[in-house]
Structures are given as C-alpha cells and as structure tokens.
Amino acid sequence: MKTLQDFNFYAQKAIIRVDFNVPLDEYFNVTDANRIEAAKPTIDKILADGGSVILMSHLGRPKGKQDQFSLRHIVAKTAEVLGVSVQFAPDCRGEIAQQAARQLKAGEVLLLENLRFYAEEEAGDVAFAKELASLGDIYVNDAFGTAHRAHASTTIIAQFFPEKKCFGALLAKEIDSLNRVLNNSVKPVTAVLGGSKVSSKITVIENILDKVDHMIIGGGMTFTFVKALGGAIGDSICEDDKQELALEILRLAKEKNVQVHLPVDVVAADSFSNDAQTQVVDVTKIPDGWQGLDAGPKSLENFRAVIMESKTILWNGPLGVFEMESFAKGTITLGNFIAESTQNGAFSLVGGGDSVAAVKQFGLEDKMSYVSTGGGAMLEMLEGKVLPGIAAILN
C-alpha cells in the first residue's frame, strides 16, 4: 500500500482528489470545515517536501455549471484552514486549468473548479481523466467519501500514473482503521449495529459474523428480530418480509459462537413525536398504538457490560431516534460507554452517517479512536467489497 511516506514531493506537482463536498449556508459560507481539515496533513507533507498541490473535488449535485455549486465559494475557508493562500482555476479542464497548473510554483496550492460541472466525471470518462492527469506529476487519492465510486478523478485517473500514485494520509488512516476491525482485531470484538432497517445491514452482518464475538442490535431493526421471535411490537417499525432473514441471522450467529444482544426493554411512545407520551416497556410486550423509539435502561445496562469487556468496537447506527431529544438517551449513553472503553484501551471505530452525526452532535468525536469520513464507502468495505478508488491505487 503506497502512502505519502513512500514519496518525496520535492519539485513535484501533486494532483490530489480531496472530498471538499462541504455544507454552505445561504450566503455561501462553509458551515462545517471538517473535510477540509481532514485533508490538511496530506497537503502539509507535500508542501513541506517542496512540492506544489493541485486540489480537485466535487461539490453537491450540479446539473451542468451552476454558480451555487462553484468551489470558488470555499477558497477563503480552504486558505484559512491550510494557512497558505489558495489560487483558484475557474475550470478544471482546458487551457484555463492547464495554464494555472503550469504557473504553479513550489509551496503553492491551486484549487480547480467543481469536477461535476462535467458529466464525464461521474461517467468515469477516460479522456476527461487523462486531461486531469496531465496537470500533475503524482496522483494522490485522499477522498474516502468517494472511494466507492468509479469516477474519472477517483479511479480512472490512476492508470495514467503507473508508478507515481499513492493514498493520502486520510485515506490511508481509513483503510488502516477498517483493517484493524476486520482483519487485525484484538478480541473480544463487538459490532454495534443500529438504524431502522435490517435490509440495509444484511451484507454487513453476513461479512462480519466471522470476525466478531458480540453483536449488539439496536434502533428500528430491533423490532424485525423481536417480531420474528414471537414478541408483540405494537406499532413499531418492522420489515415483515425480513423476519425469516432475522431468524437466519440469529441461527448463523449461534453456529459461529457470536453472542447477539437485543434490547430487553424500550422507551415506547404513543406517537412519533418529541412531545409524545412515553413509557418504558418490555421489548416483547409493546402495547398496540405504541412504538419503540429508544433503548430502555435495562438494555443499556446489558450493553454496558459487553462494551466494557470489548477490546475492539465497531459502531454503525444509532440506538434510537436521537434527532428527538426525548429519544436520544440510548445513543448518548452508548456513546459514553464506548468512550469509556476506548479510554481503557479499546480500539473504537465509528462509521455510517447517523452514528457519525450522533458522536459529533453529542461531543464524543474526540473520545473515539477513529471516526470515519465516508458513510457509503465504509459500509461497502464492511460488506467486504473492494472499493474502486482503493483498488486503482493498489493495482
């Protein structure tokens, strides 16, 4: 696996695929610069070596060239985060981009215009990738969030740099963290899987059953399992067509000596609302007209015992509807358990949109070993897929 450390970037122009798909407010101010900050170590190393940097990214889902999706809006914030001035090319191809790249000197940073202004980017067009490749001497992929897409700038471009391509610091750390969970883990290993649907986690569950000792199941998918086992779930969310599958997962887990931990009690509500009436009930005896929206106190006690014994923890998905304050306690408490276990020496990896949003919202991000930057990409790696953006560097 070639990383930044395998190259000296002196007098080299590094063309880096970054993921600067950051949120902007109505005045085009960056409201969360995490993704820019995450790319800083890679950029710093190249500049310190005496190289120059050409950054390419997408922003949003533009239909052709639309000014609201122009990367010029993030130039000032990028310069502020990097601590160096950032030049901007108002196109990512053609003479404008070529000239800006040619004039770039050592120690300088150039940001290209939104790649997705051209349909060729998402189509994985070879000629477009070749044009991008002509701008730099070394290709660096540091965009984990798009590594599962075979786009021109994330995958196809790599073929034009047979010897001079590598992973950036962020992408290398993502791969290393997932490897620590899936292939080089210290036992016991616990996977916490939450969220609303079993169907979205089937392939993840199938792939990790051979690698974990404990599996905590929470969130809305709990009720498909509970109903399949004969419990009464009231009006709780349930995938009726996945009940057989739920039983098959439990059978497979037993066969592989994986202990599955389901909630034993839940916070039930009489409507899907933050102001609903609530009561704590046995997970198998939820009354009609009521729905389970968070893990109950006994469940959390049981989960704590498992988390505290674990040496490797993967967390993907919340335990309840954490967006509503009334049903956030389970997710916050679980996050605190994982933080405590991490402090005691466990390795914890958090990934998937909702769990990442939760740790950020509740100030737990710095208490985890690693918080993944790519939701879809991480899920596909957990499913055992080889991501095209990663394969392109390895090949």
Domains of the chain are 4-167 (3.40.50.1260), 175-382 (3.40.50.1260)
Q: Point out the residues that are catalytic.
A: 35, 197, 353, 376
* Rounded CA separation 349/311 (Å): 11
Q: Does residue 94 have a known ligand-binding role? A: no
Cα–Cα nearest to 40, from 23, 20, 60, 58: 20
At residue 145, the pLDDT reads 85
Task: Please confirm whether the linkage preceding 188 is cis (ω < 30° from 0).
Answer: yes
At residue 354, the pLDDT reads 85
In this prediction, residues 319-341 reach a mean pLDDT of 96
* Rounded CA separation 50/45 (Å): 9
At residue 377, the pLDDT reads 84
**CA angle 51-52-55, nearest 5°?**
135
Q: Does residue 35 have a known ligand-binding role? A: yes
pTM of the shown model? 0.88
Q: What is the pLDDT of residues 161-201, one digit of tens each?
A: 999 999 999 999 999 999 999 888 899 999 999 988 888 88
**pLDDT higher than threshold 80 for residue 336:** yes
Q: Does residue 21 have a known ligand-binding role? A: yes
In this prediction, residue 247 has a pLDDT band, given cuts at 50, 70 and 90, of very high
The one-character DSSP state at 142 is -
At residue 200, the pLDDT reads 85
Q: What are the CB-based long-range contacts (under 8 Å, 24+) for 278-281?
A: 278/326
At residue 278, the pLDDT reads 97
* Rounded CA separation 332/216 (Å): 15
At residue 381, the pLDDT reads 87
Instruction: Out of 125-129, 141-145, 300-304, 378-382, pick the least confident.
Output: 378-382
At residue 110, the pLDDT reads 98
Tokens of 67: 């000014």
Q: Does residue 251 have a known ligand-binding role? A: no
* Rounded CA separation 334/69 (Å): 37
Q: Does residue 354 have a known ligand-binding role? A: yes
Q: Does residue 353 have a known ligand-binding role? A: yes
* Rounded CA separation 50/284 (Å): 64
Q: Does residue 326 have a known ligand-binding role? A: no
